[in-house]
Every structure is written in structure tokens, then in C-alpha cells.
């Protein structure tokens, strides 16, 4: 084709006016101005006439070529393209190309006689004329967007063509003009890389040989070299040629989009000629629903060989393979039904075996495709459609009477393949071993839920549209996931040993699987609304798992308690470290907090799973906790037996009294859900606390016993050393007990007060000393002073305030100067302490120095009367105020004489 420079030399201004008039343009100087912009000058007059003659001759020759050229009748229309550097103009398909006036070797990619350069043959140009005219107009519109090399902008001006077609010639018969305009599409000035002159690939259109010269069986006939080929006219179907040319026209249009400015066109301008994107095309394909009904393609009369059918199955050409398989099946049925002599039983058996093998191969291939369909669902939509049609067709033929039945249950095989694919998906979820990662199960379950949602989203988005509605694809996959996940969980629970893993498994099954994170995900709606969202667990599986969870919680509770004992021994007992105090200045140990935290965490976690499970877990923990107080006491005494400091040992006891009391307060919160277990634990804890308190008392008793034993003796009367030791140890213990938590502190101090009072008074009952020579006055004074100190010590700490008057009553009796006036002090003593007996009073009188005589007998007689008057004779009164009943009295000879009646001591003269 001629370049822009060549045209500038050939075409004259006068010619342009004729061209513009023929094209309906207003401005005849458009081409002229264009050439001036490109730096082209107009040649002189003689040259113009010469060129004009050449143009006329060229026009006449082109008319003749249009009448006899096959290409002129078969071309899709002139494929316009930029012919010069000015870019914005293109050649109208109605205009005859000037290149035919140039030497035939002007194109680097086409040569005369080449099969690529040869025109396509057509029996009737008018058959496709209208179609080609439309295509040519479309190509012209697209070429108007080609950029200008200099302006770097797209020209929206009317196209100008270089031609000598006159207005009169344009007004000729329309059909002849169309036929004349159907020329070979122009070749781009810059040929694509890799194309050479004469190359059959370099031409936008294939030669007639490429289209029609094919041997029987699909093989292409061997051709002579391109230079020796002759272009003979063949009688082909015009529609076939038309479709081929339409496709070639589209290819040429795409090639034209790559032609234009040397610099890239703007993206906004390219959008007008951009075809449908891949995403839009895919979205359009996905939106098409596969219908339930279908039309089976025609079954071949003669099937392919068994090997060929098997190869089609292997290469997943299912539609063709199935049709040939049906043809082979029909052939077998005909031969079996005819039962001719020619059809030997051996041949029939062989063919039946071949059919069975092919059917099995087909079904296995179908299952393989279905199994892998969820991995790459977007790439096998058409393949899955063929799978569905195969299944549907085989289901129809299963009911054929008398016919050979295939493998059968194709829908069941499809479901089995879906289930196997789901199981394979679950197996691909990463799963660490417990020794590799402590959180192996929690991580795996999180990834498992994510994989389930993602795969069901693919099923909903892609696979569901690849099958007819009767397959219920989403429901089938949902059912398979329920079953596969249930089996997977059953396998997982066999590997679970830790409590946290049991919790993770139960929590995932009960709370997470049906939540919005997995089956209730908004991305799976509305399909999920009509589906069952629960797992297909085996009967009793969940209860068994809960039972294992409770047992593991109980075992962990025991291990935790053992660990608490070990830590207490290592951190406190071995080091003989003093206990710490809390913010309220109470001796404190973290034992109760550790135990309560353990039970509480198990209760809270299990409640998230199930309220009933919370009760079972708490009861299990409390049952194990019942054994702990005794184990703790044994360990404590074993480890602290070597503690020589009594104060440190007392601190330990007070500390653990506080700790176990606080522990029981925590456990009382579970009395409503586990009353039996709480009662048993309460008895065990109370027993431990009482034993610790008693141990503390025993330690104090052993400590002060030597000092109490020397009370109410001659030494006591002369020195205060023993009492000071008693008072000092009592005071120290009472202050230490202030670090004991209520209510134990009040109970313990009351017991301590009672013990000190009883033991102090008991020394009067031993008859170890008798105040003679008026020493009773000194003894009474000393007793009153010591008693006041003891009373002040326990004043604010004890609940046994009824013990305070006993010291005053006894001091008054002992210190009374007139023996007869002692009777006046008996009424208050008997009223406050009704359990006092005659023996107790006799011992007091003995200490006072009244070992015999009338006064002593008179006092005892008055005591007996008062007891009778107050109604306390023969009983000890209020048991809650029993003091003297617990005191042992040492009997003396004087006491024996006290039993003799008073009148026996009277003289005869009296």
C-alpha cells in the first residue's frame, strides 16, 4: 500500500475537490492542509496532469479487478488503518486503494501468488455484501480513534479519503458499488514481529486452502509450495465464508487497536473500543443457571474403539466419551437381542466386559472430578455440567427394562465423591502435634472453621450454579460437612488429654460451630436458613466428652492441690519463713486463693459450654477437695515438726486457720448447686480448723502449766514471778490471736479466757496451802490484784464476761476478817455460779484457814440452804456457765469431817 508521502505526490488539489464532493465533505482543502502540516509540498502542473492520468487509469483497472476478483467479493470490507504518519485519517471502504498502481512487491509481508495474499473465493459476493458493509462501517468508526503522531490527540474530524471516485460514479447501482469496495484489508505499515513476506501466518485471512482443502478423516491435504498454487474458484457455503470473514474482521479490528501514534493512547480513549472484560464475562457465565432438562446430542451410530473411549475419559472429554459409551452400549444390546450365529458368546462377553470397564472408568473419573471440584471450582464449570448430564442420563437408563444396566446409583456415587472431597478438605487443614504446640487443638479448630466457611462460600458462589437444581448442591455439601466434621472430631477427641483441649473441643462443638463465625455466617445466607446447622454426632458422643471433661477437671484439681503443698513446703516451711500479713493485718496464705481460683475458673469455663456441665465440674472439684484438709494437716505436721520456735508454730497455725476459713466462705457459694459436696467439705474444713485451734490451745497449756501449778502456794504468796510468766505468755498469745480472722478469734480467745480462769481458780481446790496467822488478808489482796489484770486482759476479747465476778467473790471470802461474815458473801457466789459445790466451798475455806470449827460448819450449812432456796441443789445450773463443775477437788481429812452433822460438835453442857 502506498505511504502518506506517496499519496501526497500523486493526489492533486483538483482531485481532492472531487473526492470531497463524493464523500459529502464541506471543506475540500482538508487533505491539503493535512499534507502541509506534514511538510509536504504540491508538485507542479505537468506533474499533476501526469498523476491525474495515472489515477484515472488506476480507477478503471480497479473496476475490472472488482468484477473478477474473488477477494473483492469475499472481503469483510476495507480494514482501515493509518496510512501515513498523520494518523487521524483513514481510508474509506468505498474508496479504491492506490497501492495497485505500485509494484506488487511493495508489502514486506505479502507477495504475489502467496496463499496468504490470495483472495478468498466466494460463489456469490452479494450474499455477504450487507454484512461486510456493516463490518466496514464498524471498522471505520474504530479507526477514527487512532491518534495523530504530532498532535498526540484523537481526531474527531470527519474522515478524509484519497480517491478519484466521482459523485456520478458513487450514484451508480448500490450493489455494484458495494462489490467494488470489497477489497483485501490493508496490511499495517509496521508488520507484527516474527512475520515475513509470504508467510501464511502473517495474513489476517487464511487462504482457501487453509479452510477447505481437507482430506477425509480430518487431515489437511498436502499442498504445493505457495508459489505454485493456483487459485481456482470453489463452490462453498457462503454462510461458512461469511462467518469466517466476520471472525477475521474482529481479529483485524483488534490488530488496528495496536496501530496509531508512536506514543501510547490515553486510557479514556481506549475504553470506547475495549471488549468485555474477563471478569464481566465470568460473572455473566456464573449468572446463567443450569436448567434441569436437556437435549441429549445425537448418539453416534458407530462408536469409537474401547481404547479411544477410554482415552477420552482419561482426558476428561466426558460428553464425547459418554456418547460413544452409549453407542457401544446400544450396539451390545442389539447384538445380544438379535442372538445371531455370527455374534459368538465370547465376543458378547468380551464386549460386556469392555462396557463394564469403561463404565467403571467413567464413574471413577466423574468421582475424581467431583472430589477435586471445590479446589478449583471456577475452572471446571463446564466440566461439572457434563458430569451432571452424565449422571442424569445414566439415571434415566437405569430403569430401562431388559437392557444392560450400568454401574447404577450414580447419584449415590456423586454424593460419595462430594463427601470424599469434603473429607480431603478437612484433612488439608494444618494440625500440629501436642508436643509441638501447646495450643495445637485450639489453632486447628480455628483454621477448621475458617476452611469450612470458605469452602461453603465457594459452593454457594460457583459450584451451585454448575449443576441442575435437582442435585441440591448446597444441601448435599452441608450434609457432607456435618458428617465429615463429626468424624473428624471423633478422631480428634482420641488425641485429647489436657483439660484445655477438652474445653476447646466442647466449646467449638456447642458454641462456635453453629454461630455466625461458621454455619451462621452471613455470607452463607439465605441458603443456610433452610438447612440443618447441627453436627451429625454419634449418640452419646457429647455426654461421653463431657464426662471425660469432668474427670480431667477432677484429676487436674488433685494435681493442683499437690502442687500447692509442694510450693508451701518449698517457700515457707523448709525455709522457716514467717507468714505474711494482708492489708487488714491478718496472717495470710495464698492457699485458699489458689484453690478457689482453680475451682472458679473451671466453673466459669464450663458454664460457657453448658450450665449443667458447670454443676458437674464443680461437684467433681469439691469431691476431690474433700480429701485435701487431712492431706494438708498431715503434710504440715510432718514438715513443721522440727520447728523449735513456738511463736512461729503458732503463726503457722493461725495462718492456716485463716486460709481454710476463707476457703470455706468461697465454697459456700456453690451450696445451691452442690449441697452434698459442700456439706462434706465444710465438715472436713471445720475439723481441720478445730484441730488447729486445739493444737494452739494445747501448746499454750503446756507452756503455762508449770506456772499455774505454783499458784496458791507459799511461793506464790511471797513472789509474783510465776504469775508474771503466766500473764506474759497469755498476753503474747492474745495479741498474736488478733491476727486471726473472725469468728475464730472470738472463739479462741473465749476458750483461752475460760482456761486461764478455771486453772487459776482450780489451784484453790488442791488444798496445797492454808493461810494461817492472818495471811489470808495478804492472799486476798494479791488475788484481787492479779484477777484485775487478767480481767483487763480479756475484757475486750472474750465473750465469757460471766467469768469476771468469780475472782471478786473468792477474794471477798478469803479476805473477810470476821469468819461469821463470810456467810454474807455466799448468796452472790451461788447465784453467779450455781455449779459450785460444797466441796469447792470447803476448799476455799481451807485456803482461808478455816479447816474446822463451828464457823466453818455454819458457813457450809448456810451454803446448803442457799442452794436449796435458789433451786440449784442437785444440779449445776446453766451448762453454758459451768466453771466449778470442771474443777477437781482434793479431799482432805477436814473435808471428811465436814460431812458430820453440825449437832455432833455441840458439847453436852450446851
pLDDT digits (tens, 9 = 90+) for 277-325: 444 444 444 445 678 888 888 889 999 999 999 999 999 899 999 999 9
DSSP state of 508: I
End-to-end C-alpha distance for the chain, whole angstroms: 179
SS3 string, 564-587, reads HHHHHHHHHHCCCCCCEECCCCCE
Grid look-up 502518506 returns 4
HSE-up (13 A, CA, CB side) for residue 386: 20
Looking at the predicted structure, is the pLDDT value of residue 740 above 70?
yes
Q: Once rounded to an integer, what is the mean pLDDT over residues 167-174?
A: 46
Query: Minimal CA–CA distance to 519: which of 445, 442, 456?
Result: 456
Of 599, 693, 688, nearest to 650 by C-alpha is: 693
Cell numbers describing residue 488? 473428624
Q: Is pLDDT of 794 > 60?
A: yes
Q: What is the model's pLDDT at position 103?
A: 40
State the average pLDDT over residues 724-748.
91
Residues 332 and 350: their CA atoms lie apart, in Å, by 10
Q: Which of 34-38, 401-405, 545-549 has the highest mean pLDDT?
A: 545-549
Per the model's pLDDT, the better-predicted residue between 61 and 30 turns out to be 61
- CB count in 10 Å sphere of residue 349: 10
Please report where in the chains the cell 458368546 appears, as a residue.
345
Q: Which of 36-40, 138-142, 279-283, 853-857 has the highest mean pLDDT?
A: 853-857
In this prediction, residues 500-524 reach a mean pLDDT of: 91
C-alpha 99/C-alpha 61 separation (Å) is 12
274: pLDDT strictly greater than 60: no
- The confidence band for 772, taking pLDDT boundaries of 50, 70 and 90, is confident
CB-CB contact of 592 with 647 (8 Å): no
Q: What is the structure's pLDDT at 361?
A: 93
Residues with Cβ within 8 Å of 890's Cβ and at least 6 positions away in sequence, in order, are: 765, 766, 767, 843
Q: Can you tell me whether residue 147 is helix, strand or coil? A: strand
Segments in 267-344 forming alpha helices (H): 267-270, 278-287, 306-314, 318-338
Mean pLDDT calculated for residue range 140-144: 45
Residue-level pLDDT at 593 = 93
CB-side neighbour CA atoms (13 Å) of 424: 13
Stretch among 412-426, 770-784, 875-889 having the lowest mean pLDDT: 875-889
- For 454, residues 6+ apart whose C-beta sits below 8 A from its C-beta are none
Q: What is the pTM of this model?
A: 0.61
Predicted confidence band of residue 893 (pLDDT cuts 50, 70, 90) = low
The pLDDT value given to residue 61: 59
DSSP 173: -
Percentage of residues of the chain with pLDDT beyond 90:
42
Q: What is the arithmetic mean of pLDDT over 845-853?
A: 89
What pLDDT is stored for residue 170 in this prediction?
46
The residue behind cell 474443777 is 887
Give the integer Cα–Cα distance in Å for 844 and 842: 5
CA-wise closest residue to 72 among 97, 89, 54: 97
Q: What is the pLDDT of residue 753?
A: 93
72 has pLDDT over 90: no
Burial track 64-84 (b if 16+ CB lie within 10 A, e otherwise): ebbeebbbbbbbbbbbbbbbb
Predicted local confidence at residue 685, as pLDDT: 96
Residue 589, pLDDT score: 92
d(CA 485, CA 537): 9
pLDDT band at 549 (very low <50, low <70, confident <90, very high): very high
Q: Give the pLDDT score at 4.
A: 43
Question: CB–CB of 860/822 below 8 Å?
Answer: no
Q: Which helix or strand (DSSP H or E) is residue 48 part of?
A: helix 45-68
Question: Is the pLDDT reported for residue 260 higher than 60?
Answer: no
Assign 269 a pLDDT band (cuts: 50, 70, 90). very low
| CA–CA distance, 309 with 763 (Å, rounded to integer) | 120
**Model pLDDT for residues 444-469, shown as the tens digit of each residue:** 999 999 999 999 999 988 888 889 98
Query: Is the model more confident about 227 or about 555?
Result: 555
Is the pLDDT at 226 greater than 60? The verdict is: no
C-alpha 56/C-alpha 210 separation (Å) is 36
Q: Give the Cα separation of 705 and 892 in Å (integer).
A: 24
C-alpha cell at 701: 497449756
Find the DSSP H helices in 160-237: 167-170, 174-181, 208-212
Whether the pLDDT of residue 208 is over 60: the answer is: no
Give me the pLDDT at residue 35, please: 42
* Cα radius of gyration rounded to whole Å, the chain: 59
Name the pLDDT band for 644 (thresholds 50, 70, 90). confident
Q: Which residues contact 68 (CB under 8 A, 6 or more apart)?
A: none
Q: Mean pLDDT, to the nearest integer, of 371-389?
A: 81
- Reply yes or no on whether the pLDDT at 903 is more than 90: no
Position 780 scores a pLDDT of 93
Tell me the average pLDDT of the chain: 73
266 or 419: whose pLDDT is higher? 419
Mean pLDDT, to the nearest integer, of 247-275? 41
What are the phi and psi torsion angles at 155 (to 5°)? -90, 130
| 198 pLDDT more than 60 | no
Q: Which has the minimum average pLDDT: 67-76, 127-136, 780-789?
A: 67-76
CA–CA separation, 598 vs 672, rounded Å? Answer: 19
Distance CA 385, CA 320 (A): 13
* Candidate from 393-397, 423-427, 504-508, 627-631 with smallest mean pLDDT: 393-397
Question: Nearest Cα to 196, choosing from 252, 116, 270?
Answer: 116
Query: Dihedral of CA 715/720/721/722: which sign?
Result: positive
Separation in Å, CA 487 to CA 373, 491, 492:
22, 6, 9
Cis amide prior to 301 (ω within 30 degrees): no
Amino acid at each position: 500500500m502506498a505511504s502518506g508521502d506517496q499519496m501526497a505526490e500523486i493526489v492533486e488539489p483538483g482531485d481532492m475537490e472531487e473526492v470531497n464532493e463524493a464523500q459529502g465533505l464541506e471543506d475540500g482543502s482538508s487533505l491539503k492542509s493535512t499534507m502541509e502540516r506534514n511538510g509536504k509540498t504540491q508538485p507542479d502542473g505537468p506533474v499533476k496532469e501526469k498523476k491525474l492520468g495515472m489515477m484515472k487509469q488506476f480507477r478503471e483497472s480497479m473496476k475490472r479487478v472488482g468484477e473478477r476478483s474473488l477477494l473483492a467479493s469475499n472481503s469483510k470490507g476495507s480494514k482501515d488503518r493509518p496510512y501515513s504518519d498523520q494518523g487521524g485519517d483513514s481510508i474509506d471502504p468505498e474508496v479504491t486503494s492506490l497501492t495497485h498502481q505500485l509494484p506488487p512487491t511493495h508489502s514486506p509481508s505479502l507477495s504475489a501468488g502467496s496463499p496468504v495474499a490470495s483472495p478468498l473465493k466466494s460463489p456469490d459476493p452479494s450474499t455477504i455484501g450487507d454484512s461486510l458493509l456493516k463490518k466496514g462501517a464498524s471498522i471505520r468508526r474504530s479507526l477514527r480513534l487512532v491518534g495523530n503522531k504530532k498532535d498526540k490527540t484523537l481526531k474527531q474530524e470527519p474522515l478524509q479519503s484519497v480517491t478519484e471516485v466521482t459523485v456520478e460514479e458513487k450514484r451508480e447501482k448500490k450493489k455494484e458499488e458495494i462489490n467494488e469496495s470489497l477489497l483485501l484489508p490493508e496490511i499495517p505499515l509496521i508488520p507484527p514481529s516474527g512475520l515475513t513476506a509470504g508467510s501464511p501466518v502473517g495474513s489476517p485471512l487464511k487462504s482457501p486452502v487453509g479452510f477447505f482443502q481437507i482430506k477425509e478423516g480430518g487431515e489437511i491435504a498436502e499442498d504445493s509450495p505457495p508459489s505454485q498454487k493456483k487459485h481456482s474458484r470453489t463452490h462453498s457455503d457462503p454462510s461458512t465464508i461469511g462467518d469466517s470473514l466476520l471472525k477475521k474482521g474482529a481479529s483485524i479490528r483488534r490488530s488496528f487497536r495496536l496501530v496509531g501514534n508512536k506514543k501510547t493512547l490515553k486510557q479514556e480513549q481506549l475504553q470506547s473500543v475495549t471488549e468485555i472484560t474477563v471478569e464481566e464475562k465470568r460473572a455473566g457465565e456464573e449468572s446463567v443457571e443450569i436448567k434441569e432438562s436437556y437435549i441429549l446430542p445425537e448418539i453416534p451410530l458407530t462408536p469409537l474403539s474401547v481404547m479411544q473411549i477410554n482415552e477420552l475419559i482419561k482426558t476428561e472429554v466426558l460428553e464425547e466419551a459418554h456418547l460413544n459409551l452409549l453407542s457401544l452400549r446400544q450396539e451390545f444390546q442389539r447384538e445380544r437381542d438379535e442372538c445371531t450365529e455370527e455374534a459368538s458368546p465370547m465376543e458378547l462377553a468380551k464386549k460386556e466386559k469392555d462396557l463394564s470397564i469403561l463404565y467403571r472408568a467413567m464413574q471413577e473419573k466423574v468421582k475424581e472430578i467431583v472430589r477435586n471440584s471445590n479446589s478449583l471450582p471456577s475452572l471446571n464449570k463446564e466440566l461439572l455440567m457434563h458430569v451432571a448430564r452424565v449422571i442424569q442420563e445414566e439415571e434415566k437408563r437405569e430403569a430401562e427394562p431388559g437392557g444392560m444396566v450400568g454401574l447404577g446409583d450414580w447419584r449415590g456415587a456423586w454424593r460419595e465423591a462430594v463427601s470424599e472431597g469434603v473429607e480431603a478438605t478437612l484433612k488439608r487443614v494444618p494440625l500440629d502435634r501436642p508436643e509441638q504446640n501447646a495450643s495445637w487443638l485450639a489453632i486447628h479448630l480455628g483454621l477448621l472453621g475458617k476452611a469450612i466457611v470458605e469452602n461453603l462460600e465457594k459452593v454457594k458462589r460457583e459450584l451451585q450454579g454448575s449443576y441442575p437444581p435437582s442435585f441440591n448442591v448446597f444441601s448435599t455439601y452441608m450434609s457432607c460437612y456435618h458428617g465429615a466434621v463429626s468424624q473428624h472430631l471423633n478422631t480428634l477427641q482420641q488425641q485429647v488429654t489436657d483439660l484445655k483441649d477438652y474445653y476447646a473441643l466442647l466449646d467449638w462443638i456447642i458454641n462456635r460451630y453453629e454461630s455466625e463465625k461458621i454455619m451462621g455466617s452471613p455470607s452463607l445466607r439465605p441458603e443456610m436458613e433452610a438447612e440443618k446447622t447441627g453436627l451429625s454426632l454419634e449418640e452419646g458422643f457429647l455426654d461421653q466428652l463431657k464426662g471425660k471433661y469432668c474427670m480431667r477437671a477432677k484429676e487436674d484439681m488433685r494435681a493442683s492441690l499437690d502442687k500447692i503443698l509442694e510450693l508451701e513446703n518449698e517457700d515457707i516451711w523448709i525455709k522457716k519463713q514467717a507468714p505474711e500479713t494482708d492489708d487488714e493485718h491478718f496472717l495470710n496464705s495464698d492457699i485458699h486463693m489458689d484453690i478457689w481460683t482453680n475451682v472458679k475458673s473451671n466453673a466459669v469455663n464450663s458454664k460457657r459450654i453448658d450450665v449443667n456441665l458447670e454443676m458437674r465440674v464443680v461437684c467433681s472439684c469439691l469431691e476431690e477437695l474433700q480429701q485435701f484438709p487431712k492431706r494438708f494437716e498431715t503434710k504440715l505436721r510432718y514438715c513443721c515438726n522440727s520447728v523449735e520456735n513456738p511463736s512461729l508454730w503458732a503463726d503457722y497455725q493461725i495462718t492456716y486457720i485463716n486460709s481454710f476459713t476463707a476457703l470455706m466462705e468461697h465454697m459456700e457459694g456453690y451450696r445451691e448447686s452442690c449441697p452434698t459436696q459442700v456439706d462434706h467439705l465444710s465438715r472436713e474444713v471445720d475439723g481441720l480448723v478445730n484441730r488447729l485451734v486445739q493444737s494452739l490451745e494445747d501448746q499454750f497449756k503446756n507452756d503455762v502449766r508449770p506456772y499455774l501449778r505454783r499458784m496458791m502456794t507459799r511461793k506464790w504468796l511471797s513472789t509474783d514471778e510465776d504469775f508474771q510468766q503466766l500473764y506474759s505468755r497469755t498476753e503474747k498469745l492474745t495479741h498474736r490471736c488478733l491476727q486471726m480472722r473472725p469468728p475464730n478469734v472470738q472463739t479462741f480467745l473465749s476458750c483461752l479466757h475460760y482456761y486461764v480462769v478455771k486453772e487459776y481458780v482450780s489451784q484453790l481446790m488442791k488444798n496445797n496451802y492454808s493461810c494461817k496467822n492472818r495471811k489470808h488478808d495478804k492472799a486476798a489482796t494479791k488475788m484481787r490484784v492479779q484477777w484485775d489484770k487478767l480481767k483487763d486482759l480479756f475484757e475486750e476479747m472474750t465473750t465469757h464476761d460471766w467469768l469476771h465476778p468469780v475472782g471478786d467473790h473468792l477474794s471477798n471470802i478469803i479476805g473477810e476478817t470476821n469468819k461469821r461474815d463470810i456467810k454474807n458473801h455466799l448468796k452472790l457466789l451461788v447465784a453467779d455460779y450455781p455449779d459450785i459445790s460444797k466441796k469447792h466451798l470447803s476448799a476455799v475455806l481451807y485456803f482461808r484457814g478455816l479447816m474446822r470449827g463451828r464457823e466453818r460448819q455454819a458457813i457450809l450449812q448456810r451454803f446448803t440452804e442457799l442452794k436449796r432456796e435458789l433451786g440449784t441443789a442437785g444440779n449445776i445450773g446453766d451448762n453454758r456457765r459451768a466453771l466449778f463443775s470442771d474443777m477437781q477437788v482434793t479431799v482432805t481429812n477436814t473435808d471428811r469431817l465436814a460431812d458430820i452433822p453440825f449437832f455432833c460438835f455441840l458439847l453436852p453442857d450446851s
